[in-house]
Amino acid sequence: MPFFISGKTAIVTGAANGVGLAIARHFAEQGANVVCADRDEAKLIDEFGANPESGNGGNSDEAEARNIRIFAGDLRKKLTIKNLISATIDAFDRVDILVNASRQVIASDPLDMEDQAVETLLDQNLMTALRLSQAVAKRMIRQGDELPEDSDMPLGAIVNLSSIAATRTQPGLMAFSISAAALEQMTRAFAVALAPHRVRVNAISFGSVMSASLQEALREDTGMRDMIVDGTPLGRIASPGEVAETARFLASDGAGFMTGQILTVDGGRTLVDAVGAPAH
């Protein structure tokens, strides 16, 4: 079955940078209507142009032509989530896909009683995705109420971005690992809860991807690249576009019988015991 998403409406969070940016661009190129959400409005405008109806400059013609809208706000706040969904409906009348790509990685000290990293990353990486998934799923279900009673048409797909750090960790990444593991369990729980409503929920667990943050880390630690490559059977670091293509597959009807799955995209890294290789 083709992995088409053309004509569908997707919300992509974390869309100003890295993998989220790659997913938003790829979805738009594949013909989807895309609402790109992030806290960094300036970067959103720089990447996608301003919304056609706004007067804040940027390449608004490009945004309109590619069926892209931008939304800037802190999605840790419930009101911002409500406004994001309203903006999506105002622009495109519906929402079919949610990609929770917004996430944060910070170092943590497992023995520091004052370290707030676990609380910070659970709020950013888990609770934000949970609240947004709840709100979007309710909208998808309401859209289904407009269909004939005997319709078995899929109502939506939610894709969460996780990490191989959920199962392979280092002490300095304990907080991030906890948030990733919690996100994967949330994915499974939502998949079961939403299955009767024909809304699918899956996740992508990926290893090292050549994002801006990894590029910066590689500049600071010249030996990190070799360590990552040596611990990856395919012998290279993935591009953000490779994760974006996986997200399109999970969002498409081609994955219509997949739900609650954690799809690993890591070049085989979790198949080997690469002690010391960082899960970036």
Query: How do residues 85-121 score in pLDDT, each as one tens digit?
Result: 999 999 999 999 999 999 998 888 888 877 899 999 9
Q: Is the pTM of the predicted complex or chain greater than 0.95?
A: no
pLDDT of res. 184: 98
State residue 244's pLDDT score: 97
Q: Convert the pLDDT of each residue in 221-251 to its tens digit.
A: 888 889 899 989 999 999 999 999 999 999 9
According to CATH, the topology of domain 9-268 is Rossmann fold (3.40.50)
The predicted pLDDT at position 238 comes to 94
3-state SS record for the chain: CCCCCCCCEEEEECCCCHHHHHHHHHHHHCCCEEEEEECCHHHHHHHHCCCCCCCCCCCHHHHHHCCEEEEECCCCCHHHHHHHHHHHHHHHCCCCEEEECCCCCCCCCCCCCCCCHHHHHHHHHHHHHHHHHHHHHHHHHHHHCCCCCCCCCCCEEEEEEEEHHHCCCCHHHHHHHHHHHHHHHHHHHHHHHHHHHCEEEEEEEECCECCHHHHHHHHHCCCHHHHHHHCCCCCCCECHHHHHHHHHHHHCHHHCCCCCCEEEECCCHHHCCCCCCCCC
Q: Where are the domains of the chain?
A: 9-268
Looking at residue 153, its pLDDT comes to: 78
The confidence band for 64, taking pLDDT boundaries of 50, 70 and 90, is very low
